[in-house]
Amino acid sequence: SYQVPRPQGYRVSWHANPAVELHHFGQSHPMKPWRLTLTKQLVMAYGMHHAMDLYMARAATSEEMAEFHDADYIEFLRQVIPGDVDRPEQSDNVVRFNFGDDCPVFDGLYNYCSLYAGGTVDAARKLCNNQSEIAINWSGGLHHAKKSEASGFCYVNDIVLGTLQLLRHHPRVMYIDIDVHHGDGVEQAFWSTDRVLTVSFHKYDKDNFFPGTGALEDTGPSHPLNPGAHHAINVPLNDGIDDESYIQLYHDVIGACVDTYRPGAIVLQCGADSLGCDRLGCFNLNVRAHGACVAFTKTFGLPLLVVGGGGYTPRNVSRAWAHETSILIDADQNLDPTIPETVAFRNHFGPDYSLFPPLSELRKLENKNPRPYLQNLVEAVHEQLRYIQG
């Protein structure tokens, strides 16, 4: 039978389980796992699945999740059902583990969590076994989950679990987070080690934007005996950052971090809520600029674990992640910018049917990140890097 020729380049593996897509957080909840269906439809309509090794993600075991999380918390996650929210004997735990509006108890919650976590753990293991150079799990990237607490739509921190796998093989791992929210759960998990350098770009407004952490000065507990001191890099931004400023900033910050820290592998969280027109976000990035960050990260030629994250305007999330998949398989030059006639749910991409709609024009936000503000951020990162050894 005819074999689609594989382009030369990196071996890319895709880790997914379609069961993840079927879960619902509830009526008006902004997190829609259905965006993963839309992403997959785009990837397949463009034929990109022929250029990757496809793996059906298995569920992470409770033991695997307990490598980071408290066993008690995972056990609660395993057995809680929607009705428990109103049962007095369970309501203490519902409060203790921070379930509520952001993190509801929905049908199949444990299944959902163990599947997205399994995808990221599998992806990390493929990289460690040299069976893949770039491993993708768009259903992962749930960066707010804590050791024994759900937070911000995240229950199990798949990024921490994947990074722990990478640390078995690599002395140093760098974590990069381009979600519009601060990657607080990952930062906190590696607070006290110098073996992970975390870098998050995010909207920062202590009182008015979730989670309210990630100020420039927050670089890890600075106790002299803490090896993790200075190993959290935060890039706090204001509304409306545009393509040019963001790409420049990303190059300056990430280029300097990789040069200094010399990681053995990179974990990249590609939260698509940093795009313009996102339902929860406030940046002004277009699909190409978001993708340019992924492309730049790939140029280091290091084992790369790519995960999703936020993204609340599903048509744009799927555009970005499909485009980024094409970058990772070196096929972005070949993509027709008009979305193929054959794609399922094509109506969602109208009226333009473009992979690159002008998001920055559709909802114009003033860029409240003047050049001197950004220059100061880069300068501060350079200063912080003086404390860091590769």
- Which amino acid, 213? T
Binding mask 175-204 for Ca ion (x = CB under 5 A): --x-x---x----------------x-x--
**In the 8-state DSSP scheme, what is residue 147?**
T
Helix 71-79 crosses helix 109-128 at what angle (to 10 degrees)?
130
* Binding-residue total with ligand TV1 (CB under 6 A): 19
Amino acid at 104: P
Reading the block at residue 327, the tokens are 């970058």
Q: Residue 28 binds what, of Zn ion, Ca ion, ligand TV1, none (CB under 5 to 8 Å, by partner type)?
A: ligand TV1
If one asks whether residue 205 binds ligand TV1 (CB under 6 A), the answer comes out as no
CA angle 139, 144, 150 (to 5 degrees): 95
Selection from 275, 280, 368 nearest residue 323 by Cα? 275
Short-list 372, 360, 356, CA closest to 241: 360
**Three-point CA angle 19, 6, 36, nearest 5°:** 20
Smallest separation (angstroms) from Ca ion to the CB of 180: 6
Residue 150 CB, shortest distance to ligand TV1, in Å, is 11
User: In this complex, which beta carbon is closest to Zn ion, that of residue 113 or of residue 178?
Assistant: 178
The site string for Zn ion over 245-274 (x = CB under 5 A, - otherwise) reads --------------------------x-x-
Binding residues for ligand TV1 restricted to 317-376, rule: CB under 6 A: none
Partner from Ca ion, ligand TV1, Zn ion, none contacting 210, C-beta within 5 to 8 A by type: ligand TV1
If one asks whether residue 152 binds ligand TV1 (CB under 6 A), the answer comes out as: yes
Q: At what angle do helices 314-328 and 287-298 cross, to 10 degrees?
A: 30
Q: Among this protein's residues, is 182 annotated catalytic?
A: yes
If the CB atoms of residues 69 and 143 are measured against ligand TV1, the closer one turns out to be: 143
Using CB under 5 A, which residues numbered 121 to 180 contact Zn ion?
179
153 binds, among Zn ion, ligand TV1, Ca ion, none (CB under 5 to 8 A by kind): ligand TV1
**What residues between 84 and 143 interact with ligand TV1 by CB under 6 A?**
101-102, 142-143
Q: What residues from 201 to 260 belong to the interface with Ca ion (CB under 5 A)?
A: 202
User: CB neighbours (10 Å) of residue 138?
Assistant: 29
Residue 382 to residues 72, 244, 255, 319, Cα–Cα distance (Å): 41, 20, 11, 34
Angstrom distance (rounded) from CA 181 to CA 369: 16
**Residues with catalytic function:** 182
Query: Which residues would be at the binding site for Ca ion (CB under 5 A)?
Result: 177, 179, 183, 200, 202
